[in-house]
Amino acid sequence: MDAMSATVKDRLKKHFVNHVALVIDKSGSMQGHSEQLVRVVDEFVKGLAEESDRLGHETRISLYAFDHLVENLVWDMDVKHLPSMRGLYTVENGATALIQASVKALDDLGHIWEEYGEHSFLQVVVTDGEENASGADTTGSRHDLMPDGRAVLDEWRSRIADKMNTLPGHWTSAIMVPNSLAKRTAQQYGFPTGNISIWDADSDQGVEEAIGAVKTAATRFLRDREHGVRGTRNLFAMGQDLSAADVTSNLQALNAGKYVLIPVDQPTSIRDFVTGAGHPYKTGCAFYELSKREKVQANKQIAVAEKDPATGRTTGKVFTGPAARRLLGLPATEVTVAPGSNDAYTVFVQSTSVNRKLVPGTRLLVLL
């Protein structure tokens, strides 16, 4: 009986509990984007629910909506029971209290008791605009219309930066923003670069890419828990967390005579580049270096090349195998990914297109 009790206690201690807060912009600028946002958020929640069920995690979700006011719509609910955003989300005509909403969600999550089980916290903010109303009165005055608006904004900027800089290691705070300027602003607030994703709500392609990004992020976040990672600064950047232990224990090293790594010096099509380098081209023999946002199909193989951290140059060692996609958090569906910065490894993706234009300054992996 004592042995059984010890086994049960050990299992409960290892029980993973994930607390996710979605902080959603409902300000006037979201007019015309509400359907796109609903799709993005619903797919994120779906990804969390499916992966939690597969891994046996308990994932609980809270939902906040904000314009110049911040409203909690759902508190710490089992993710499998959350209804579609379509029944919860309504765009208002107010301004954008982005910082205030982000800080409130983090403050609220801080009240959750963590004594039993192994808890992890994830906040994801989704906006199509920028901060202009944190600390405003209930009329929704923007900072530029307030007599002390600049001082109020500076105070809130300081508050979020302090909050971000003191988050415990098992907390992750991420944000989806509309453009590069908003990304730089989010960095100033303290969001880690790898936890910032740009989404384009004005195009079908942008929305599909956002869906791919959030589903991959959900999958990666939960799978990382299985490997002891409770928080991340690289939620949206693929390959940034890849470690030597992951690679050597899960992937196979290719025989040195079975491949070449060729520097790309001009934007040539992939087949012409391979044959021009003196190698026969066969569909699937070439892997391009992941250097920008790309769609990665479910059937594409992944390889990683080892780098010397001191020089950034490849050591010539290449690893691959069926586990490569899992290590990078790639789902078994087509997904759009962005490259992360990793001092030890470079990610390569298999190409089956003869006309793919290669990016100068990258390398091409060719299997012989």
- My answer on whether 323 and 219 are in the same domain is no
Q: Which of 41-50, 222-231, 253-262, 344-353 has the lowest mean pLDDT?
A: 222-231
Q: β-strand 363-367 against 286-289: which pairing, if any?
A: antiparallel
User: Of the residues 213, 235, 257, which one is the last residue of a structural domain?
Assistant: 235
Question: Which of 174, 211, 204 lies closest to 39 in space, CA to CA?
Answer: 211
Quote the tokens at residue 249.
């224990």
Q: What are the strands of the beta sheet with 286-289, ordered from one edge?
A: 252-253, 314-320, 302-307, 345-351, 286-289, 363-367, 259-263
Give the pLDDT band of residue 10 (cuts 50, 70, 90). Answer: low
> Max CA-CA distance within the chain?
71
User: Of the residues 235, 263, 294, which one is the last residue of a structural domain?
Assistant: 235
Per-residue pLDDT, averaged over 50-62, amounts to 94
User: Of the residues 235, 257, 279, which one is the last residue of a structural domain?
Assistant: 235
Most confident residue range from 91-95, 147-151, 262-266: 262-266
* Total domain count, the chain: 2
Per-residue pLDDT, averaged over 3-7, amounts to 53
> Which residue type, as a one-letter code, is found at position 71?
E
Measured N-to-C along each axis, helices 34-55 and 204-226 cross at an angle, to the nearest 10 degrees, of 20
Question: Which of 33, 19, 9 lies closest to 204 in space, CA to CA?
Answer: 33
C-alpha to C-alpha distance for 56 and 237, rounded to whole angstroms? 25
- Quickly tell me which residue has 């089992």 as its tokens: 78
Residue 1 has pLDDT above 50, yes or no: no
Pair 269, 364: CB distance under 8 Å = no
- My answer on whether 39 and 77 are in the same domain is yes
**Start-to-end C-alpha separation, the chain:** 60
Can you give the residue range of the structural domain that contains 312? 244-367
Give the pLDDT band of residue 8 (cuts 50, 70, 90). Answer: low
Q: Tell which phi-psi region holds residue 318, choosing left (phi > 0), alpha (psi between -120 and 50) or beta.
A: beta
Q: CATH number of the domain that 36 lies in?
A: 3.40.50.410
- My answer on whether 203 and 275 are in the same domain is no
C-alpha to C-alpha distance for 35 and 118, rounded to whole angstroms? 35
Q: What is the pLDDT of residues 248-275, one digit of tens each?
A: 999 999 998 999 999 999 999 999 999 9
Neighbours of 352 (CB within 10 A): 14
- My answer on whether 66 and 203 are in the same domain is yes
